[in-house]
Amino acid sequence: MKICQNCPCSSPSISLSSLASPCLNSELSLSLSLLLFPAESPTSPPLPARGTTGGKVSGVRGGVDVFLPSPSQPRGRFVLGRPRRLKVFSMALFIYFDYKAVQKRVKWVGAGKKDAIWTKTHERNARRVLNLMIELEGLWVKMGQYLSTRADVLPEPYINVLKQLQDSLPPRPLEEVRGTIEKELGKPMNDLFANFVLDPLATASIAQVHRATLVDGREVVVKIQHDGIKDIILEDLKNAKSLVEWIAWAEPQYNFNPMIDEWCKEAPKELDFNHEAENTKAVSSNLSRKTNCESGAVSSAVDVLIPEVIQSTDKVLILQYMDGIRLNDNDSLEAYGVDKQRLVEEITRAYAHQIYVDGFFNGDPHPGNFLVSKEPPHKPILLDFGLTKRISQSMRQALAKMFLSCAEGDHVALLSAFAEMGLKLRVDMPEQAMEIATVFFRQSTTANEAKENIKTLNDQRERNVKALQEKMKMNKKEVQRFNPVDAFPGDAIIFMRVLNLLRGLSASLNVRIVYLDIMRPFAESTLLGSMTRGPTANSQWIYDSPVNSEVESKLRNLLLELGSNKILGIQVCAYKDGKVIIDTAAGTLGKYDPRPVQPDSLFPVFSVTKGITAGMVHWLVDKGCIHVIQVHHLLNHTSGLHNALGDVMKSDPLLVCDWEEMLHQITKCTPETEPGSEQMYHYLSFGWLCGGIIEHASGKKLQEVLEEAIVHPLHINGELYIGIPPGVESRLAALTVDMEELEKLSGFRAGPDVPQELLSNVAQMATGLPVLFNTLNIRRAILPAANGHCSARALARYYAALGAGGAIPPPHSGGGSKPPLGSHVHTPKFPTMPSKKKKKGGSKNDVGVADKDGYTQLRTSDGSDEGSTVSAVVAGNGSGSGSSMFVDGGTKMLDAFMGVGDFSGMIHPNGKFGLGFRRYGYGAGAGEKVATTTFGHSGMGGSTGFCDVEHGLAMAVTVNKMSLGGVTRRVVRLVCEELGVPVPDEFSVAGDKGPDMVLNLAPPE
């Protein structure tokens, strides 16, 4: 065997970073660094190029040299136990108090001197950290390497000083290396290698790598673990755990114990080179596959190289040699013409594939674990798979859902993803949760933008702390010690660490990466691949519930026929003569939510809400609180306030979430036309006008009236809301748009009651509405014209009662569908919020934190919301038989709904609306007489509820894939035709559609 020393072939193709033990979790490292490095501190200008001389690294700012111990000097590996721990803690305390002192000092100096003070402070402490890490080696070198990659968040002096750790440490003696190789492989080195290069390619804290040639002529690299390193790593893990606990005590807002626990579990795996060999083979195999995505076969075109594994033992690993350029060798990258942007994008794609598609990924993507091939197209070379994490399919799906929910701004899907991955929150703050989660997937920044990035992150943190303080009614000290996370999943920790390391990688190469664009196809591949792609893919696409009738059986066949091309999620429920004949649910809760739609799922139904609001107005009229003559213009859409608050909403769309402010603003509006003269559809103003009257006339909150008038009498608790409460998010359907039907809008013209300016923006509005209405701040808002959330079975029961003049129908059997209608607590407490203990002798009316926040807790005298068993609620479901929602119900109430009989003078002549409800005619295009026994209300996108009084039919359809109503019309036509009931014009092929069904768009002329 030939031993080469100072041979030209010993180029540094593998850096020490690829050999060291795993560093602290990215979030821990980042947070520790932000703790020590104040956000307002400036960054320093670039350092001059470094060169190495003998045992020292020169060129550090100010001419200060950092000395590396020579092989003959005492090394950190020989120091175990108390001395090692003492060094770590004493240095941490020293640096901590240094920064605290500087924070006080800069308060008394001029603004022009602050930058210089902070720069010197960073340089001083960066050198202290570097010297300690070099002395101790082991785990601490790895941490320093990680910090040196975070140019996007750390002050520049730390980056410039700590990046010295990317260079190789002094090597171990050849005798130690030879002894380990021969012991592990069982043969003399002469029998193993034709050539072995004496100088290592790199030396790190766990191992060092030598280039060699096997006796069969293959060029390889040999990775040899340092003798005794295992004890050092385990000791360092123990010290790191203690350090995290101390920091959590000193600064409670930085409690990262769950993260360090996960790291301590994963880190020792890197000490087994057999484990690394198997990981390398698995990742190489996975990345060579193709991935099916929604748009077709998206090749893993993850164009990367991975060395072949030749042989492995516990402490020796032999790999194929690949000659490449290190990522921190900027001069060589420039000389070879490497496209850095494409390089980092390809690395990001490779990790997206590993995480979302394979569920098996390298948890340590720092610059030292990559090379760049010297031959065009300069592919990335992936190295070091010691710290490789395997996650379950359910966790992959949850991580994909979290990613895509951030991309779509879908709060419900995000909270669902949190629940699925095991992340539990103690506080109900969905907006802040979305903001924090989105930080992980934000576009990367360059090193030059680090200062501004740090400021942005800290500003965001301060806003979140302030919001938490207000939410929890805590003082500043209390909120610092409050941890909003009840449980944090270990698998997610490594995932977040990888994202931050990739961000640091892009910053170090000064490129920007849009993670939402690059990683999205892979996340979609995982999530959509796990979802039912249509009824033929899974017999459970239709929710497993008993069939109530022959017509329901035929309806389910229709849903199978329409399939997933037209349906995402749907519920259909129908009553005939007071009995349930259909109660079907099918599909999924959202485009990125594969959970099945169930009978109790809550769908946003837009203007279907108007029919519910109108019912409350009629209930107050029946109670004598108001007279119908006072509100008939509002109910009939003839008040002239159809455009009220349009300017306010344009200037601040989210102002609609402020119920009290919108009620105040609506009082300032004046009619555009003489009340009663024209019927112009009141898209949103209907809700504020009617809602304000409801609250003023009743002296109660709108939700209280909703419960008293509709929810409790009908026993539909938990399945009908106007503005949802916290605690029902797991049952919410998410909206999406049928893009094929949206393209048809270009040929339509506005109907008589649709403003042309609305039509001109209809496509933009239709695509923007799902994003807006999928956010929880909108879902929780009180919008009585457009923000109802309900199940089809609750809505159908409501119309069954209205169609009977208010008479409450028999119990909703629904063929035994589960869970039973009315079995939910209507206003649940936030599930993970710890309740406050009552003080001894406290009032029974005392409420916990959850009662004071978010949705107003509504109570009723019978206490049916709290403590009722499912059986008791279901038993009470039929107690309304023979009773009525109204005192003076029956025919008179039906006349009022439809604006006939004594109420005919209160509606607009030939108008399509009665008093609050749309009147449906029959026989469109056949010259038949318009019928006046069918009424109801549809919502934009296809959801609807109506009743046919004459034929005893009440029906509701809820959908979450917004379209021009084609699916709903097909469903209604089938049911009506099978029952021998005339099809209302709203749902016929030739009839006029209501303004909310398709915005009353007329076909092209």
Number of C-beta neighbours around residue 981 at 10 A: 19
**926/990 Cα distance (integer angstroms):** 10
Write the burial class of residue 651 (CB in 10 Å: 0-12 exposed, 13-18 middle, 19+ buried): exposed
Instruction: List the one residue out of 780, 773, 790, 657 whose CA is nearest residue 727.
Output: 780
Query: Contact at 8 Å (CB) between 242 and 222?
Result: no
Number of C-beta neighbours around residue 328 at 10 A: 18
Instruction: Dig out the tokens for 725 from the structure.
Output: 């409460």
Give me the residue label for tokens 């893919």: 537
904 contact partners, CB below 8 Å, separation of at least 6: none
Instruction: List the one residue out of 80, 970, 991, 63 whose CA is nearest residue 563.
Output: 970
Beta bridge partners of 721: 789
Residues tagged active-site? 364
Q: How far is CA 956 from CA 580, 796, 800, 993, in A?
A: 12, 5, 10, 16
Q: How far is CA 96 from CA 38, 93, 245, 480, in A?
A: 11, 5, 15, 18
Helix extents (H) in 774-837:
776-779, 792-803
Instruction: Dig out the tokens for 980 from the structure.
Output: 């021998």
**560/450 Cα distance (integer angstroms):** 54
Query: Contact at 8 Å (CB) between 717 and 824?
Result: yes
DSSP-derived secondary structure letter, 1002 = B
Query: Contact at 8 Å (CB) between 998 and 741?
Result: no
What is residue 1004's three-state secondary structure?
coil
Q: Locate the DSSP E strands across 340-472.
A: 360-362, 370-373, 380-382, 388-390, 424-425
Instruction: List the one residue out of 20, 132, 155, 39 whose CA is nearest residue 85.
Output: 132
Cis, bond preceding 365 (omega within 30 deg of 0): no
652 contact partners, CB below 8 Å, separation of at least 6: none
Query: Contact at 8 Å (CB) between 1 and 196?
Result: yes
Q: Which residues of 928-943 are buried (b: 16+ CB within 10 A; e: fewer)?
A: eeebbbbbbbbbbbbb
Query: Contact at 8 Å (CB) between 969 and 542?
Result: no
826 contact partners, CB below 8 Å, separation of at least 6: 707, 711, 717, 718, 725, 858, 865
DSSP-derived secondary structure letter, 732 = B
943 contact partners, CB below 8 Å, separation of at least 6: 603, 604, 605, 606, 608, 957, 958, 959, 968
* Chain CA centroid to CA 536, Å: 29
Continuous segment of H or E residues that includes residue 790: strand 788-790
Q: How far is CA 743 from CA 562, 739, 746, 963, in A?
A: 19, 6, 6, 11
In the chain, helix, strand, coil percent, each to 5? 50, 15, 40
Beta bridge partners of 954: 575, 947
What is residue 295's three-state secondary structure?
coil
Instruction: Dig out the tokens for 685 from the structure.
Output: 């103003």
Instruction: List the one residue out of 736, 728, 727 whose CA is nearest residue 408.
Output: 736
Query: Contact at 8 Å (CB) between 345 and 517?
Result: no
**593/529 Cα distance (integer angstroms):** 12
What is residue 544's three-state secondary structure?
coil
